[in-house]
Structure 1
């Protein structure tokens, strides 16, 4: 990408994120480095896809933001508005595309040097996007099609009128809004929209090889109309599949924590795990509370509290003190409703939201390249720089 375009575009992107408070300071730094990595590519395509994803994602985040804030809870106990994204969230969605973009930029520059050194050579490869050509380009587009589909599906699907159903449940049982693995028709439609937006932008900015470039230096096999349609349809459906895969991974390997009093899902700020207080060992929490009170009543610590009441008889006073005896395992807790405040709705606590997003983006990008490698009969090893 030309520096005259890349520099002001990057500054505008960072300024917009700063003014809209879409990113934390760490997120701004990560976004700047990501933009630079994309701008180093000779084509405009990677940078354009990054901008399209960022704008579409932030716009979807702000759709009925106040309504969505009341549908879930933050891990701190307040309403669950998304808030600015941090550096981990930025990298989870864009790191794979950054690596693929840098690899492809290296390939293009190597080809260009080879062509200049040997103008008559035919093994240097094409500098335009040819049918049966660069797999890395497919991986870059697939990455943003999938993460855009996943982002719009999550941000807009939660507003669906119907309750989401758990995709990893054999019975597709209904779950609270915001549950990992919960899907709705509205969410799937939003995911398809996100994929369509990214793929459309890609088709507009891809430097396709054509009949005019077929016989020129650095040209490649031209695309037919049918081939373009196949690419568009395949990448669009692949992006939608990415949002479904993200739901499956989240439903299986990311625990969804529900607040038992409100029935709402508790979301970890920054995509991190949510602690489940009292859900695994509620009796231990109650014992600790009772032990503290017993210690106070028996005068342990700096300020002692009377454990007997002079107005009560000796027997009644002793019974009341024994009620808080930590050694009595059959005592009733002195306070609390004996119920955990949070419970796990579904999923194993193996990954957090950022882990799931990165695994989905990486897996779907590599998967797209593998499928196209088979379809085009191009070795997958071609994505690596030649020795």
Structure 2
């Protein structure tokens, strides 16, 4: 019944030498250095990750990585001063996202990077048309749908005019709360999934001749992006602790996506626990979300699109 989307052709191979795409990786790294979007170790890890993506036999993985990085960087800087005033760091200074570190880079890419290794093996040494090869490719796409949706919804959802609601209680919570959701954030997550699906469809289909296939893939990745964002909110609301300053009633967040180790809100009267247990860091939640979303996406593809 759904065979029309099953046997998509292999992604388009680049018509220029691979070292050209390697130069694109170095270009993105230089952009990150100039804009101070990444720490030095973050830049080194992004270069290593990017080179693995470009040495896939096609440009699809690198295009997903570049699309995710460029848009997320843009949205991170959007109204950064306003977002910084909505949270604070444990030292009492304003919050906001600083340069991302190596741990954050790997948390948002390691699942896809692992699948790229496997898909490259199938492409060159097994059979590029083997159905499992397509399944690995879908996993790569789903991972980027998840991390892109999470980042977009976090960076744009916090700008919602109304306070979010905690996904586990459906009660209002301060902006920046792990597990807080808003119509804007959920809508943005859906759009992020569609964005990743659009990039993917340009490599997998001919948009003019295979319109239905393109639309079906975009719809699929949109759902996976929304699923990833909701899953991230559930994990964040339960396994990641959100702490607020009693005086300001704003969320206290650790820099670099780490755990709040400097504050014991259960014993300090200046702080209160808004939600969750201090089990996972934000980076660990992101990694777990991308891994689960990838597995679910591959599972759904196996059930509905593989014979």
After TM superposition, is the score higher than 0.5? yes
Q: Give the 3 Å change call, closer, same or farther, for CA 279–8 of structure 1 in structure 2.
A: closer
Unpaired stretches in structure 1, ≥5 consecutive residues = 112-123, 211-222, 283-339, 379-387
Deviation string for 1:87-109 (max 9, x for gaps)? 00000000001011111011101
Q: Is the 8 A contact 1:195 1:240 kept in 2?
A: yes
Cα distance in 1 for partners of 2:90, 2:40 equals: 21
Match of 2:89 among 52, 55, 74: 74
Shift of 1:225: 4.4
Shift of 1:44: 0.6
Runs of 4+ in structure 1 displaced over 6 angstroms?
Answer: none
Structure 2 residue aligned with 1:162 = 162
Match of 2:59 among 37, 44, 63: 44
Structure 1 residue aligned with 2:243 = 257
Q: Tell me, what secondary structure is at the counterpart of 1:151? A: helix
Cα distance in 2 for partners of 1:165, 1:174 equals: 4
Structure that is richer in helix per residue: 2
Structure 2 residue aligned with 1:200 = 198
Structure 1 residue aligned with 2:185 = 187
Cα distance in 1 for partners of 2:225, 2:264 equals: 39
Q: Is the 8 A contact 1:276 1:344 kept in 2?
A: no
Q: Give the 3 Å change call, closer, same or farther, for CA 45–277 of structure 1 in structure 2.
A: closer
Say what the alpha-carbon RMSD is for the aligned residues: 2.0
Match of 1:366 among 286, 289, 295: 295
Match of 1:19 among 30, 34, 54: 34
* Structure of greater Rg: 1
Q: After the TM superposition, which residues 96-245 of structure 1 pair with which residues of structure 2 at under 5 Å, given as runs? A: 96-111=111-126, 124-126=127-129, 134-169=134-169, 172-206=170-204, 208=205, 225-245=211-231
Q: Is the 8 A contact 1:278 1:341 kept in 2?
A: no
Cα distance in 1 for partners of 2:300, 2:154 equals: 26
Cα distance in 1 for partners of 2:133, 2:84 equals: 46
Cα distance in 2 for partners of 1:377, 1:15 equals: 41
Q: Is the 8 A contact 1:145 1:198 kept in 2?
A: yes
Q: Is the 8 A contact 2:260 2:278 kept in 1?
A: no
In the alignment of these two chains, the number of paired residues is 291
Q: Tell me, what secondary structure is at the counterpart of 1:70? A: helix
Cα distance in 1 for partners of 2:144, 2:111 equals: 10
Match of 1:62 among 74, 77, 81: 77
Q: Give the 3 Å change call, closer, same or farther, for CA 133–100 of structure 1 in structure 2.
A: closer
Alignment TM-score, normalising by the size of structure 1: 0.72
Cα distance in 1 for partners of 2:191, 2:304 equals: 26
Unpaired stretches in structure 2, ≥5 consecutive residues = 1-13
